[in-house]
Structure 1
Amino acid sequence: MFTGIIQAQGYIKRIDVRNGDWRLTVAVGELDMTDVAMGDSIATQGVCLTAVEFNANEFVADVSAETLKVTTLGDLKIGSKVNLEKALRLQDRLGGHLVSGHVDGVGLVKTISQDARSWRYLIEAPVEIARYIAHKGSVCINGVSLTVNQVSGCEFDVNIVPHTREKTTIREWQVGSRLNLEVDLLARYLERLISGPNAEGEKQAKPAVITETLLAQAGYL
């Protein structure tokens, strides 16, 4: 688990293509590697990767063909900058929100505009996950925990303050940039809970209508 609070910016140092999947070598920048152990998870652009080799300056991780297909990691090149976060410890502050590092879909930057000293990004989410993105809810984008300002259909916008833009790869986003999106864990589990008896046949069942009664029965009210 992660928090979506970026600890360092690294870059892709090496890409080895191996029978359809990749082995990445990631230079970690200022990320403190002194407490990292073999097999630890490090979120890279919001994707949970397992360190199979590491030293103070870099780590190596295997990326499956499936991960390359459903995330933007396949877009990376030598020198591409990446957001990095080590796995959450139980005694750590939860400054963002609970993030699994399992990307739900790839979004697209539609517009970028200045908003006083901040920047506002309009992002289009895939239709299959758009329903999990809520006004003033949390969303993880390229590993960064962000608050949703407004939602309209499959589009939502986020406001980025100068500090966040400077300390992450967000400053490199352009119109058309592809982004890793992970929706709030609670939203997915809530939908599963309220589906109740329909869970086994959910492929045929109609989506449950969320009502106060259903929320109360699930223990949320």
Structure 2
Amino acid sequence: MFTGIIECTTKVHRLIYEKNNLRITFNNPFSKNNEIQVNQSICHNGICLSIININKKTYSVIASEETLLCTNLNFLKIQDEVNLERGIKLHERLDGHIVQGHVDTIAIIIKIENRNGSWLFFFKSKKKLNDKIVKKGSIAINGVSLTIITCKNQYIFNVSILPYTYETTNFHQLKIGDIVNLEFDILGKYIKRSIQQYLEK
């Protein structure tokens, strides 16, 4: 489980397709104190992926065909910057919101406004949003815990990005037309499912 509070970013070192899967090798920002290990899960741009190999400079993960179909991993390029978060420790504060690392869908950036101290990012989702997000609710975008400002219609919403988040995540490199990963609030998904089951009785 994750919180959407990004620890650091890294860059894509190598991409190799192995049949229907994708092996991704990243530069290793955790090498100094041996802070990661094989089989450990790390959230990469909001996607929970397990480490299969580590050395001093890099580590590798495998993305399955299913993961490639529902995330933005097929758009990755060498040297792309990726947000990283390791799993939460149970004794730590939950500073963001509950993030599983299970991407629900992707969205495209359709507008970016510089608000002289912050940035407004507008997204158009691949899926309808009317029963998945709410104004002032939480959403994870590329693994970053954010608050929804407005939901303009069934597909479009926006968030505000403050300078610290802009500088310490890969938001500073995103541009109009880029594809991002979305994970909707798990609490909202459980509530929706409970209501559906009640109505089906």
Category of TM-score, reference length = shorter chain: over 0.9
Name 1:26's counterpart in structure 2. 26
Deviation string, structure 1 residues 55-85 (Cα, Å, up to 9, x no partner)? 4443211111111111001111111110011
Tell me, yes or no, if structure 1 residue 65 matches structure 2 residue 61: no
Name 1:184's counterpart in structure 2. 185
* 1:161-176 pair list within 5 angstroms: 161-176=162-177
Please give the alpha-carbon distance, in whole angstroms, between the structure 1 residues aligned to 2:67 and 2:151: 27
TM-aligned CA deviation for residue 197 of structure 1: 4.5
Please give the alpha-carbon distance, in whole angstroms, between the structure 2 residues aligned to 1:147 and 1:159: 8
TM-aligned CA deviation for residue 198 of structure 1: 5.0
Name 1:217's counterpart in structure 2. none
TM-score normalized by the length of structure 1 = 0.85
Please give the alpha-carbon distance, in whole angstroms, between the structure 2 residues aligned to 1:197 and 1:11: 46
Please give the alpha-carbon distance, in whole angstroms, between the structure 1 residues aligned to 2:166 and 2:200: 41
Higher relative contact order (CA 8 A, sep 6+): 2
Larger deviation, residues 127-136 vs 152-161: 127-136
- Computed over aligned residues only, the root mean square deviation of the Cα atoms, in angstroms, reads 1.8
Name 2:87's counterpart in structure 1. 87
Q: Is the 8 A contact 2:105 2:127 kept in 1?
A: no
Name 1:37's counterpart in structure 2. 37
Q: Indicate the SS of the match to 1:25.
A: strand
CA, structure 1 residues 155+55, in 2 after alignment: closer, same or farther (shift >3 Å)? same
Name 2:138's counterpart in structure 1. 138
Tell me, yes or no, if structure 1 residue 46 matches structure 2 residue 46: yes
Give the 4+ runs in structure 1 shifted more than 4 A.
30-33, 197-200
CA, structure 1 residues 45+199, in 2 after alignment: closer, same or farther (shift >3 Å)? farther
What one-letter code is carried by the residue in structure 1 that aligns with 2:156? E
Aligned length: 200
Please give the alpha-carbon distance, in whole angstroms, between the structure 2 residues aligned to 1:140 and 1:129: 14
Larger radius of gyration: 1
TM-score normalized by the length of structure 2 = 0.93
What one-letter code is carried by the residue in structure 1 that aligns with 2:182? L
Q: Is the 8 A contact 2:136 2:148 kept in 1?
A: yes
Q: Indicate the SS of the match to 1:52.
A: strand
Name 2:10's counterpart in structure 1. 10
Structure 1: runs of 5 or more not aligned: 201-221
Name 2:119's counterpart in structure 1. 119
Please give the alpha-carbon distance, in whole angstroms, between the structure 2 residues aligned to 1:145 and 1:192: 22
Identity %: 34
Name 1:148's counterpart in structure 2. 148
